[in-house]
Amino acid sequence: MHVLEQSLPRDLRDLRRGIRRRTIYQHTVRSDRTTLAYIERVTTEGAEVRTLAEVADRIIVFDRDLAFVPFSDEPHRALRIQHPALVRLLARHFDEAWARAVPVHPERVPLRTPVVTSDPQRTILQAVVGGETDESIARRLGMSRRSVAEHVRRVSERLGSNSRAQLGCLIATSGLLSGLLSGLLEA
């Protein structure tokens, strides 16, 4: 059974008891049917869900008094943090990520077409300008290397680039990073 399916009854019970829940996922979940079904169920009960391009470390903050940071190598164990300064730092980190994140509205997301927002596209292009490889970009964004390479190929073709270095220069000087990129990458 999928982890989200296992946690759904507990999460719905908590939401019905009035517990506020805000969750940030990666943009890549916007094309995952199971996750979208979970998001649709919890948002109808009052949860808020947003997505970001970057892979984010998981943190759980309760009432800004207590935080947990799960161990990556032991999924059922976590570091319990009660020091006020550390909890404040983690809460502020979450709030900053929340402000950058894009709200998820499952009823508006077509389940057959992967959704690509301007945020991951912008992140990919900024990484190309910064000299990152497709592999490192993919790892950071939680995407396949082939997906990143396809985004890069489309932009390279549109801008008439002959090399990765030239592409980085063209992106940096073209003004692409200041505007919406969806038209450039969707065609």
Residue 17: phi, psi to the nearest 5?
Answer: -85, 0
Looking at residue 144, its amino acid is: S
Q: What is the CATH number of domain 3-108?
A: 3.30.870.10
Say which DSSP state 45 is in.
T
**Contact between 31 and 115 (Cβ < 8 Å):** yes
Out of 41-50, 64-73, 84-93, 172-181, least confident range: 172-181
Nearest to 58 by CA among 43, 75, 41, 35: 75
- Distance (Å, whole) CA 51 – CA 165: 30
CATH of 118-186, one of 3.30.70, 1.10.390, 3.90.930, 1.10.10: 1.10.10
User: Where do the CATH 1.10.10 domains begin and end in the chain?
Assistant: 118-186
Higher pLDDT, residue 178 or 62: 62
- Give the per-residue pLDDT at 119: 72
- Tell me, yes or no, if the pTM score tops 0.75: no
All CATH 3.30.870.10 domain ranges in the chain, comma separated: 3-108
Burial of 40 (0-12, 13-18, 19+ CB in 10 A): middle
Using CA atoms, how far apart are residues 75 and 57, in angstroms rounded to an integer? Answer: 13
